[in-house]
Chains A and B, each alone.
Chain A
Amino acid sequence: MDFLHNPEFGDKLVTLMAAFVLVFQIAMVGQRSLIMNIRLFGAQSFLLAAIAAVIAHYNHAPHIYVAAVMTVLVKVILVPVLLERLVDRIEIRHEIEPIVNVPLSIVISGGLTLVAYIVGESFYHPETGAASLGHNTLAVAISVFLIGFFMMINRRKALTQVFALLTLENGIFLAAICLTYGMPLVVDLGVFFDVLVAVLVLGILVYRIRETFESMDVSKLRRLRG
């Protein structure tokens, strides 16, 4: 069981899972079904939790385990369940309609990933040696973040923008965990609480927008109603 203590193996493991995070992110851009989007988000968050746990193990930083467990509880279980209930309640059966068509969106996401890799590389200092666990995860984190932004711009419906926000937050979490090996626990807890409250508030907001405007299309929010 030598590999359990070999940081090189840990690095490989983290990089591998980060690659899957990126694949899920691109799949989310390409996926039109709302429910599938929520599940992909859940899977992505689960991988994030796994990355956090691996980093916690190899860096001997037990407080990151708490972050990992919180990720599983909040982002893998609670948020997807809440969102699926919201989708049920507002009875959306139709698909996501992005502004830029799907193949082009995917190609744009690919371009954004390139940008992220180029940006991420400037942070990479091989001379620091052992501290580089998960250094190439930073590029993935930045690209998840950028693609999240792009998804937010690219989608019309308020609810789909909520997912985009959530994936964006996943990107930030990944960046935080691979750069700093876990922020202080208080910050982590605050962020999780934030996400949860954001989902609740946005859920209510989406519901209200639909009640008032009979649509979730945010481009219709320009007209004022008395």
Chain B
Amino acid sequence: MTGAILKTLAQLVLLLMLAPLVSGFIKMLKARLQMRRGPGILQPYRDIHKLLRKGMVVPDSASWLFSATPYVVFLATLLAGLMVPMAAADTPVGLFGGVLAVVYLLGLSRFFLALGGLDTGSSFGGLGSSREMTVSALAAPTLMLAVFTVAIGAGSTTLAQIAKVAINQQWRFLEPSQILAFAALFLVLIAETGRIPVDNPATHLELTMIHEAMILEYSGPYLALIEWGASVKQLLLMTLLINVFWPFGLAAGWSLAGLAAGLAWLLVKLAVVSCGVVLVETANAKMRLFRVPELMAVAFVLGALALVSTFLF
């Protein structure tokens, strides 16, 4: 019992502490690649710290949904994060359905975020919510398809089980179905975390913003919770991508040495994925909103082909 609590706490701390670091790392890398100095790698921690101490402004027109949203977003994302293997293959929390529960928890947090955007009645919030729902309606099926591809290979939808099977088949990620699923999941990662071809995370000044438009009315601790939740979600999706496709180095049990090695590997792999994201962000311009469905169609077809090719080979 105490072991379970300890594991949960350890993963919780890891999620909360690592997530801003990954965001900061991506920001720093992007700035360097664009020949800017950019903020330091610890800037997201400072931002969260600053926001948590500030007062907040709640619009008069806001209902209880507005104040419930940050908590629901934050907690749902954290709970989903506890179900993803990070340093060890075992996860502290294993709800029914495994990876399906992760997808639906993310869906729940997104649903509330969109409600929160609509609740204040500002036109920007509504706009952001409607766009977010459009993008996610296209990204979620792709995420499902990619995840099913992997789940079929492992014969289970539990992420711990998927990771364990993947550890035993070191070179499985080179199979065509896995490659296609990986490509699909990478595109989903970019869409879901609001990265450049889909959304621009760096600005509040664009008429085409999606995520930032939804949370425009939030300030102070609420904004801190939402931003922190968003970076946890980014970390979660990245670890999902990493540990499902390249699980080497993942600790199978709970020995201290294994965990340390697993953590080190996790950091290395996160850095690699971040580099990929940064390259995509720097090399591309933001897409017109009406072009986003095209990108998502590519991702969807890749996911569908991945699923089909598991049956064919």
A26 proximity list for chain B (CB < 8 A): 298, 301-302
Q: Do A139 and B298 have beta carbons less than 8 Å apart?
A: no
Q: Does B57 contact A (CB under 8 A)?
A: no
A16 proximity list for chain B (CB < 8 A): 174-176, 179
Count of CB-CB pairs between chains A and B under 8 Å? 62
Q: Does A109 contact B (CB under 8 A)?
A: yes
Interface residues of A in 76-120 (CB under 8 A from B): 102-104, 106-107, 109-110, 113-114, 117
Interface code B282-313, partner A: CB below 8 Å = 1, 0 otherwise?
00000000000111111011101100110011
Chain A residues close to B by CB (< 8 Å):
12-13, 15-16, 18-20, 22-23, 26-27, 30, 102-104, 106-107, 109-110, 113-114, 117, 121, 136, 139-140
Q: How many residues of B contact A (CB 8 A)?
A: 22
Q: Known contacts A107-B300, A107-B301; can you find 14 more A-B pairs with CB under 8 A?
A: A15-B175, A16-B174, A16-B176, A20-B179, A30-B295, A106-B294, A107-B297, A113-B305, A114-B305, A114-B308, A117-B308, A136-B176, A136-B312, A140-B176
Q: How many angstroms between the C-alpha atoms of A117 and B176 in the bound complex?
A: 13
B13 vs chain A, min Cβ distance (A): 38
Main DSSP-derived SS at the B contact region: helix
Q: Do A110 and B293 have beta carbons less than 8 Å apart?
A: no
Main DSSP-derived SS at the A contact region: helix
Q: How many angstroms between the C-alpha atoms of A75 and B193 in the bound complex?
A: 37
Chain B residues close to A by CB (< 8 Å):
171, 174-176, 179-180, 183, 293-298, 300-302, 304-305, 308-309, 312-313
Q: Which of A18, A104, A109, A110 lies in contact with B176, CB distance below 8 A?
A: A18
Tell which of B179, B183, B298, B304 has the most Cβ of chain A within 10 Å. Answer: B298
Q: Do A23 and B297 have beta carbons less than 8 Å apart?
A: no
Q: Which of B175, B176, B294 lies in contact with A30, CB distance below 8 A?
A: B294
* 14 contacting pairs across A/B (C-beta < 8 A): A12-B171, A15-B176, A16-B175, A16-B176, A19-B179, A23-B180, A23-B183, A30-B295, A106-B294, A106-B301, A107-B300, A114-B305, A117-B308, A136-B313
Q: Do B301 and A23 have beta carbons less than 8 Å apart?
A: no
A102 proximity list for chain B (CB < 8 A): 294, 297
Q: How many angstroms between the C-alpha atoms of A26 and B183 in the bound complex?
A: 12
A121 proximity list for chain B (CB < 8 A): 312
Q: What 8 A-B pairs have minimum CB-CB distances, sorted nearest first?
A: A19-B176, A103-B297, A110-B301, A102-B294, A106-B297, A19-B179, A30-B298, A16-B174
